[in-house]
Amino acid sequence: MSRDSSLLLRADADSLVGTGHLMRCLAWAEAWQSAGGNVTFLSRCESDQLRGRIEEEGMAFIPLERSYPDPGDLETTLRTLEGMPKTTWVTLDGYHFDPCYHDELRASGHKVVVIDDLAHLSTYSVDMVVNQNLYAGELKYHCDSGTRVLLGTDYALLRREFLAWKSWKRRVPETASKILVTLGGGDPGEFPFLILEGINGVQNPRLQVRMIAGASNPKIDALKEAAAKAGPGFEIHGHVADMPAMMAWADVGVCAGGTTCWEFAFMGLPNLIVVLAENQLLVAEGMGRRGISVHLGWHHEISRTRFQRELEALLGNKERRLLMCREGRKLVDGLGCQRVMEAVFQKNGETQGRSLCP
C-alpha cells in the first residue's frame, strides 16, 4: 500500500452507543496504518482518553459536534474528503448511517466500507461490508453486484495489542479466583452494582475482582465506593491502557455481548455473558450454544442470587473452563484485520499485501 493511501473512519462513542464502534474502528485503523497508509478519524466522542489514544497512535482526529441525521455530519464528512486523495477509503460504523449517507459518499468518488452487525438497511450500496459476528452468515445483505461481503468471526477486528498474545497459553487453575468484569464503554445502569453484590456473596477468601467501568460511565465514583465497601480484593478501573494483560490476569470474565466477546475468545478467557442491548442477543445466544460463554440473558432479568450461583459454578468447574478456553481460541484466531486488508488489496488491484502479524 502506498503512503498516500488514506482511510477516513466515521464512528461515535458516548454513554448511549458505548465505545465498541470506535474501538473496532481503531483496530481496523491500526491494520491500515501497519500496511503503510494514513488514517483520519471523524467522530463525536465524549471520551478524552479515547481521543488521546487515537492521536498517540499517530492518527488524525477531527471532532464532530452532532451526528447524522443532523445534516452537519454528512456535510463535514464530504468537506473533509475534499482535502483527501481520491483513493481514500471511508469506513462507517454505526446504525444511524443509512443508504442516503452511503450514496453521497460513493458519489464523491471514494470507496466505502460499512462495519455492520444487523443487516437492517434496505440496501448496502457500498464497496465492502464487514460483519464479524458469529451469526453473520445467517443474515441477508442486499448489495450491489460488486460489493464484497465479509461475514463471520474470521473477520473479527482485534487491536494490534492483542496480536502479541497469539502464542500465549492460558493456565487454567483448579479453582478460579480472579474475575474481570467489563460491560462496555457506555452506561449499563445499575447492573454493575448487582454484579459487585453477587461476587461479594461468593465464599472464596482468595477472590480478586477488577471491574472496568468504561470511558463513558458516569457512575464510576459510585462504583469505586461500592467496591471499597466490598473489600480489599475489589478494584474499579476507568481507562485501561493494556486490556490484553487484564484478560491474561483473569481466570474468569464477565462481559456484555459486544466487541469484548471476540477479545475474550481470542484470549481464551472463560466467561459469563449478559445482554445489555438488542443487538447483543444473537451474539450471546451463539456464544452460549458453542460452549464459549455462560449465556445469562437480559440484564434486567438476572437476579443477584442467580448471578452468584452461575459464577460460583463456573469458578469451581475446571473442565468447563478448559473447554471454553479451547473453543474460544478456535473461534477467533486474531487474523481478522489481515483478512480484511487482503480484501482491500484485491479491491485496489494490488497483488500482494503486507503481513500484519508481529
DSSP conformation letters of 59-95: -EEEE-SS-TTSHHHHHHHHHHHHTS-TT-EEEEEST
Same domain, 237 and 315: yes
Longest dimension (CA), the chain: 62
Same domain, 201 and 282: yes
Q: Which of 29-43, 107-121, 191-205, 343-357 has the lowest mean pLDDT?
A: 343-357
Same domain, 109 and 236: no
Same domain, 266 and 337: no
Q: How many helices (H) and strands (E) does the chain have?
A: 13, 13
Same domain, 339 and 319: no
**Contact by Cβ (8 Å): 45, 51:** yes
The enclosing domain of 318 has a CATH number of 3.40.50.2000
Q: What is the pLDDT of residues 152-209, one digit of tens each?
A: 999 999 999 999 999 999 999 999 999 999 998 777 789 999 999 999 999 898 999 9
Same domain, 314 and 299: yes
Report yes or no on 279 lying in a domain: yes
Looking up cell 488524525, which residue turns up?
A: 60
Same domain, 220 and 118: no
Give the residue numbers spanning the domain of 67: 6-162+333-348
Same domain, 152 and 16: yes
**Contact by Cβ (8 Å): 187, 225:** no
Same domain, 156 and 185: no
Report yes or no on 353 lying in a domain: no
Distance linking the first and last C-alpha atoms of the chain: 18
For the chain, how many structural domains are there in total? Answer: 2
d(CA 52, CA 32): 19
Same domain, 326 and 214: yes
Same domain, 142 and 245: no
Q: Give the global pTM.
A: 0.93
Does residue 293 or residue 350 have the better pLDDT? 293
Q: What is the pLDDT of residues 309-352, one digit of tens each?
A: 999 999 999 999 999 999 999 999 999 999 999 999 999 886 44
- Using only C-alpha atoms, the chain has a radius of gyration, in whole angstroms, of 20
Report yes or no on 357 lying in a domain: no
Same domain, 180 and 322: yes
Report yes or no on 26 lying in a domain: yes
